[in-house]
Amino acid sequence: MSALVETGLIFRKDSPNGKRYARKARAGEGGEAFGFSLAPLVSRAAEFEALAEQVRSERLQLKLMKERVTLLRRDIVKLIELGFEELPHIDWSAQYKRFRAVIDDIPRQATIGDLEPAVDGLECLQLEISNLLEDKLNSQKTSAKESHSERHKHNSNTQSTSDLEPGFRKIQGTKTALEPETEVTIETRGSEAITILLERGGGDGTDAGLSDAKPVPLGLVRQACPQIIAYARSGIANWSDLMAAAVVVRSMLGVSPSAYEEACEILGQENAAIAIACILERAEQINSAGGYLRALTDKAGRGEFSVWPMVLAQLRANGSHVRLVTAK
Bridge partners for 324 per DSSP: 186
Kindly report, residue by residue over 33-86, the tens digit of the pLDDT.
777 777 787 888 888 888 888 888 888 988 888 998 888 888 888 888 888 877
> What is the C-alpha to C-alpha distance for residues 103 and 69, in angstroms, rounded to an integer?
9
Tell me which of 153, 187, 205 is where a domain ends: 153
What is the secondary structure of 66-116 as a DSSP string?
A: HHHHHHHHHHHHHHHHHHHHH-TTS--HHHHHHHHHHHHTS-TT--HHHHH
pLDDT of residue 294: 92
Is 125 among the domain residues?
A: yes
Same domain? 114 vs 9? no
Q: Is the pLDDT of residue 137 over 80?
A: no
Is 187 among the domain residues?
A: yes
| Domain around 110 | 60-153
Is 49 among the domain residues?
A: no
Same domain? 246 vs 315? yes
Same domain? 148 vs 188? no
Is 164 among the domain residues?
A: no
Q: What is the mean pLDDT of the chain?
A: 75
What's the number of CA atoms in the CB half-sphere (13 Å) around residue 180? 1
Kindly report, residue by residue over 73-91, the tens digit of the pLDDT.
888 888 888 888 777 788 8
Is 232 among the domain residues?
A: yes
pLDDT of residue 167: 35
Same domain? 192 vs 261? yes
Question: What does R_g of the chain's alpha carbons equal in angstroms?
Answer: 35
Same domain? 244 vs 299? yes
Is 159 among the domain residues?
A: no
Q: Are 191 and 321 in contact (CB under 8 A)?
A: no
Same domain? 97 vs 9? no
Same domain? 321 vs 277? yes
In 154-238, alpha helices (H): 218-224
Backbone angles phi, psi at 178, to 5 degrees: -110, -80
Is 163 among the domain residues?
A: no
pLDDT of residue 183: 46
Kindly report, residue by residue over 233-246, the tens digit of the pLDDT.
788 989 988 998 89
pLDDT of residue 175: 35
At a CB cut-off of 8 Å and minimum separation 6, what does 236 contact? 218, 222, 228, 229, 242, 245
Same domain? 90 vs 227? no
pLDDT bracket for residue 166 (50, 70, 90) = very low
Same domain? 191 vs 289? yes
pTM higher than 0.85, yes or no? Answer: no
Secondary structure element (H or E) that encloses residue 152, with its range: helix 112-153
Is 160 among the domain residues?
A: no
Same domain? 269 vs 306? yes
Tell me which of 110, 127, 153 is where a domain ends: 153
Same domain? 313 vs 202? yes
Number of structural domains the chain divides into:
3
Judged by DSSP in three states, 212 sits in: coil
Same domain? 110 vs 228? no
pLDDT of residue 321: 65
Q: Rounded mean pLDDT of 202-230?
A: 70
> What is the C-alpha to C-alpha distance for residues 157 and 160, in angstroms, rounded to an integer?
6
